[in-house]
Amino acid sequence: MDENPIPRFGVSGFVELINQVLEFSCSSVEIEGEVANFKVNQGKWVFFDLKDEEASVGCFMPVYQLRTPIEDGMKLVVRAQPKVTKWGKFSVTVQNYRPLGEGSLRKSFQLLRTKLEKEGIFAAERKRCLPQIPARIGVISSTQAAGYADFIKIVNERWGGLQIDVAHVQVQGEAAADQIVAAINRFNESQTPPEVLVIIRGGGSADDLNTFNDELLVRAIAASRVPTLVGIGHEVDMTLADLAADVRASTPSNAAQIIVPDRRELLREIKALVDGMAYRTESAIGDLSSEVDNLRQRALLHLDSRTDVLTSEIKQFQRILAAYNPQLALVRGYAIVCGSTEIGEVISIEEEKIIIKAEVKNVKQK
Distances, alpha carbon 63 to alpha carbons 68, 177, 195, 268, in Å: 11, 17, 35, 57
Q: Does residue 114 form part of some domain?
A: no
Same domain (yes/no): 138, 232? yes
Q: What residues contact 69, with CB distance under 8 A and at least 6 apart?
A: 107, 108, 111, 112, 115
Q: Does residue 26 form part of some domain?
A: yes
Q: Does residue 78 form part of some domain?
A: yes
Largest Cα separation within the chain, whole Å, is 200
244, 218 contact by CB (below 8 A): yes
Same domain (yes/no): 251, 277? no
Same domain (yes/no): 50, 169? no
| CATH number, residue 221 | 3.40.50.261
Same domain (yes/no): 205, 243? yes
From first to last of its 366 residues, what are the pLDDT tens digits of the chain?
556 678 888 888 888 888 888 888 877 889 999 999 999 998 889 999 999 888 999 999 999 888 888 899 999 999 998 888 888 888 888 998 888 888 888 888 899 999 999 999 999 999 999 998 899 999 999 999 888 999 999 999 888 888 999 999 999 888 899 999 999 999 999 999 999 999 999 888 888 888 899 999 999 999 999 999 999 988 888 999 999 999 999 999 999 999 988 877 777 877 788 878 878 888 888 888 888 888 888 888 888 888 888 888 888 887 777 777 777 777 777 788 888 878 878 888 877 778 888 887 888 887
What is the Cα–Cα distance from 42 to 46, expressed in whole angstroms?
Answer: 9
259, 229 contact by CB (below 8 A): yes
Same domain (yes/no): 284, 330? no
What is the Cα–Cα distance from 321 to 344, expressed in whole angstroms?
Answer: 35
3-state secondary structure 254-312: HHHHHHCCCHHHHHHHHHHHHHHHHHHHHHHHHHHHHHHHHHHHHHHHHHHHHHHHHHH
Same domain (yes/no): 43, 158? no
Q: Does residue 284 form part of some domain?
A: yes
What is the Cα–Cα distance from 363 to 346, expressed in whole angstroms?
Answer: 13
| CATH number, residue 26 | 2.40.50.140
pLDDT for the residue numbered 307: 86
Q: Does residue 113 form part of some domain?
A: no
What is the Cα–Cα distance from 157 to 119, expressed in whole angstroms?
Answer: 40
Same domain (yes/no): 248, 272? no
Same domain (yes/no): 189, 232? yes
pLDDT for the residue numbered 3: 67
Same domain (yes/no): 288, 348? no
Structural domain of 286: 268-319
SS3 label, residue 216: helix
pLDDT for the residue numbered 319: 79
Q: Does residue 341 form part of some domain?
A: yes
Domain boundary residue among 214, 232, 261? 261
Same domain (yes/no): 223, 241? yes
Same domain (yes/no): 230, 348? no
What domain count does the chain have?
4
170, 179 contact by CB (below 8 A): yes
Same domain (yes/no): 282, 306? yes
What is the Cα–Cα distance from 124 to 127, expressed in whole angstroms?
Answer: 5
Looking at the DSSP bridge assignments, the partners of residue 36 are 49
